[in-house]
Amino acid sequence: MTQNTLKKVETYCVPLMDHRIRLSDVAAGTFKTIQSRKGFKSAIKKRLVTLNGKMAITADYISGGEIIELFQNPIQNKKPSIALNLEVIFEDDYLAIVQKPPGIVVSGNRKYTLENALAYNVAKSTQEDALYRPEPVHRLDYPTSGLLLIGKTSFALIALNKLFEEKSIQKTYHAVTIGFMADHGIIEAPIENKKAKTTFKVLKRIKSRKYESLNLVKLMPSTGRKHQIRIHLASIGSPILGDSTYGKEGFIGQGNGLYLHASKLSFMHPLTSQQISKRIPLSKKILKLFPDD
């Protein structure tokens, strides 16, 4: 790979040091687009780092005055694009929030993914560390609809992931569950031997001949385990309507999919310090059962 095919994203002039160190031991946080030594070492091995204009190796030493340049490789990031219209709820030069329709995977090896539709819907960032194409920060299950957070720059992607790790992004879901359940509560059943916590509140109920009761439930997960909400609701005997994986045998609806919707995202913008809080209406199939008053 020649340097001409790479895009330079950061330049760093090494300050004078008391003693020399290996290039791979540059302090974490030196580059805003790579915030760990492991990540920087990986970039060196991928030939994405130059030292004084020459391709760097991990065995190089620095003592001060050297110029380190960090590059991205657009060719490695090429994936197919699909012309799928997405509703963009919020967008600036660093991140975006889009509405994921049900029945599409967020990312993966197949062509028809939401990730492959992002370049068609979201503008590329003008920042120096702009990603070759926008990337999802988290995931929603294939049958789940709702708000999805997107990173448009390397630093934004890192910072948003950190917010998720610190539990500083508040997510709210709505679901329709079957059977009787308490008015409110907290579910803390471990998932794959890891702590998991979901707070719920029943907003409305309607009687059902088949299911005994259908409940409109507001859910606030404090952790982000795979299928957490679906597993937790099933664990208390009130699985989500249409859940073919965790639902009760003989009580799984046919044809309408999963009644789970990511309805709200709230967080502090990691670059502008703006408080972002975006809410979308319930999905049409939920509103059909529980119309707005």
DSSP of the chain, one letter per residue? --GGGSEEEEEEEPPP-SS-EEGGGPPTTSBTTB-SHHHHHHHHHTT-EEETTEE--TT-EE-SS-EEEEEE-GGGG---------EEEEE-SSEEEEEEPSS-BSSSSSSSBSGGGHHHHSPPP-STTEEEEEEESS---TT-EEEEEEEEEHHHHHHHHHHHHTT-SEEEEEEEEES---SEEEE---BTTB---EEEEEEEEEEETTTEEEEEEEEEESS--TTHHHHHHHHTT-PBTT-TTTSPTT---SSS---EEEEEEEEE-TTT-PEEEEE-PPPHHHHHHS---
pLDDT in tens, 106-164: 988 888 999 999 999 999 999 878 888 899 999 999 999 999 999 998 889 888 988 99
CATH 3.30.2350.10 domain range(s) in the chain: 79-166, 171-262
CATH 3.10.290.10 domain range(s) in the chain: 3-76
What's the pLDDT band for 2 if we cut at 50, 70, 90? very low
pLDDT in tens, 32-81: 778 678 888 888 988 889 999 899 999 999 999 999 998 876 655 567 88
CATH code, residues 79-166:
3.30.2350.10
What's the pLDDT band for 253 if we cut at 50, 70, 90? low
141 is catalytic: yes
pLDDT in tens, 224-234: 999 999 999 99
pLDDT in tens, 163-221: 998 999 999 999 999 999 999 999 999 999 999 999 999 999 999 888 899 999 999 99
Q: Which of 18, 129, 141, 183 is catalytic?
A: 141
pLDDT for residue 39: 82
pLDDT for residue 254: 60
pTM assigned to the model: 0.79
CATH of 171-262, one of 1.20.1250.20, 3.30.2350.10, 3.90.180.10, 3.40.50.10320: 3.30.2350.10
CATH code, residues 3-76:
3.10.290.10
